[in-house]
């Protein structure tokens, strides 16, 4: 059982802890942690059996802590990963991994030098529907994929107030991209490979602090194109669709796939439903298994770095109003 420290005990840090804390099969148990607002977390930490430490450094110094799970503001991630690596602690870090490609590369280099496991929390990789999409792509069921569409939205920003870190444009330079949209960027990398170029429009139409409407037109290294949107004041939405020369494949929500064949290419149209899974527990269990010497965590670090490069490039493209190549 991997003994971990939780760093950041806001809403999402608590979701992560509660997904595994009372499961004997999770492979991970939280024993300590720290947060920026300890008074708000004291009772909850006690209920979870977590020792509340006064700082991140104190968590790293705790001899019982073998790994840390970072649910902290975006701009802190890279430095926190590097600090954990220096202590020989394995790291699971929430998305976005970092705000710049250079910071992501520095964090990965530190992890590799220390020989620790570094895992990034893109939980949609653990959906059964995602695995089925990858299988069908590998089999060539869609032919040559010409275009991909992605949409992830939600109304969470309605609750973002001045003084909250998510309402800080430095932490959320493209509105919902950091909180939500980065998940779709990772999904598109997972399915379609590397991005080559992006054009972005991002605006504040309603919110006073950060953008509520962000849209991207992109091209992949393969030559396929992509349209993507994330809205931080719209109904909860998750949709990813691929259009190929043999058919289209669409994930509607997180539990349904719809296939439509091109006439004359063979095969029948179908709709399949998949069971709901606890993807937070799945990603933490995969992290613990990788630390224990089992299968590698299913998000290669090169793809983690590329996801940050896409995010950073999107920020520049939105600011300039032009197309930017992704490094």
Q: Identify whether the C-beta of residue 259 lies closer than 8 Å to the C-beta of residue 270.
A: yes
Across the range 73-100, mean pLDDT stands at: 97
pLDDT of residue 162 exceeding 90, the answer is no
Across the range 109-134, mean pLDDT stands at: 98
Q: Where are the alpha helices (DSSP H) in 115-250?
A: 128-139, 181-192
Across the range 173-185, mean pLDDT stands at: 93
Bridge-based pairing of strands 270-273 and 225-231 is: unpaired
Local structure of 74: helix, strand or coil: helix
Across the range 140-162, mean pLDDT stands at: 94
CA angle 155, 157, 158 (to 5 degrees): 75
CATH class of this structure's domain 127-275+297-325: alpha beta
> How far is the C-alpha of 20 from the C-alpha of 13, rounded, in Å?
12
Cα distances from 207 to residues 93, 127, 172, 180, in angstroms, run 28, 32, 12, 16
pLDDT of residue 322 exceeding 80, the answer is yes
Contact residues for 63 (Cβ-Cβ < 8 A; gap 6+): none
Q: Identify whether the C-beta of residue 126 lies closer than 8 Å to the C-beta of residue 282.
A: yes
Reported as a pLDDT band with limits 50, 70 and 90, residue 265 is confident
CA angle 248, 249, 250 (to 5 degrees): 120
Q: Where are the chain's structural domains?
A: 2-123, 127-275+297-325
pLDDT at position 321, please?
85
Mean residue pLDDT of the chain comes to 96
Could you write out the three-class secondary structure of 180-194? Answer: CHHHHHHHHHHHHCC
Reported as a pLDDT band with limits 50, 70 and 90, residue 129 is very high
pLDDT at position 43, please?
96
pLDDT of residue 266 exceeding 80, the answer is no
Residues 31-76 pLDDT 10s: 999 999 999 999 999 999 999 999 999 999 999 999 999 999 999 9
Across the range 257-267, mean pLDDT stands at: 90
> How far is the C-alpha of 138 from the C-alpha of 191, rounded, in Å?
10
Residues 193-242 pLDDT 10s: 999 999 999 999 998 888 999 999 999 999 999 999 999 999 999 999 99
pLDDT at position 8, please?
97
Q: What percent of the chain has pLDDT over 90?
A: 88
CATH class of this structure's domain 2-123: alpha beta
Across the range 123-141, mean pLDDT stands at: 98
């Amino acid at each position: 059982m991997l003994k971990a420290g939780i760093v950041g005990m806001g809403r999402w840090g608590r979701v992560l802890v509660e997904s595994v804390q009372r499961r004997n099969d999770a492979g991970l148990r939280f024993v300590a942690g720290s947060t920026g607002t300890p008074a708000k977390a004291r009772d909850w930490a006690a209920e979870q059996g977590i020792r509340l430490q006064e700082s991140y450094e104190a968590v790293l110094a705790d001899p019982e802590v073998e790994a840390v799970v970072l649910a902290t503001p975006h701009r802190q991630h890279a430095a926190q990963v590097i600090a954990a690596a220096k202590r020989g602690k394995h790291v699971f870090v929430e998305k976005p991994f970092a705000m710049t490609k250079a910071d992501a590369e520095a964090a990965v280099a530190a992890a590799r030098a220390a020989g620790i496991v570094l895992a990034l929390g893109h939980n949609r990789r653990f959906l059964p529907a995602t695995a089925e999409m990858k299988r069908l792509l590998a089999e060539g069921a869609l032919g040559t994929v010409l275009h991909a569409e992605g949409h992830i939205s939600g109304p969470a920003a309605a609750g973002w107030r001045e003084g909250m870190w998510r309402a800080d444009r430095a932490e959320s330079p493209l509105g919902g991209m950091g909180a939500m949209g980065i998940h779709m960027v990772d999904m598109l990398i997972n399915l379609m490979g590397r991005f080559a170029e992006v054009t972005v429009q991002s605006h504040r139409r309603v919110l006073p602090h950060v953008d509520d409407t962000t849209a991207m037109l992109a091209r992949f290294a393969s030559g396929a194109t992509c349209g993507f949107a994330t809205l931080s004041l719209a109904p909860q939405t998750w949709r990813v669709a691929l259009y190929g020369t043999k058919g289209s494949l669409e994930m509607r929500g997180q539990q349904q796939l719809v296939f439509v064949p091109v006439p004359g290419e063979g095969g029948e149209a179908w709709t399949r439903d998949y069971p709901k899974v606890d993807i937070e527990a799945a990603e933490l269990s995969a992290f613990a298994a990788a630390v224990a010497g089992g299968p590698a965590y299913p998000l290669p670090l090169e793809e983690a770095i590329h996801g940050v490069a896409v995010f950073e490039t999107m920020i520049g493209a939105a600011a300039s109003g032009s197309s930017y190549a992704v490094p």
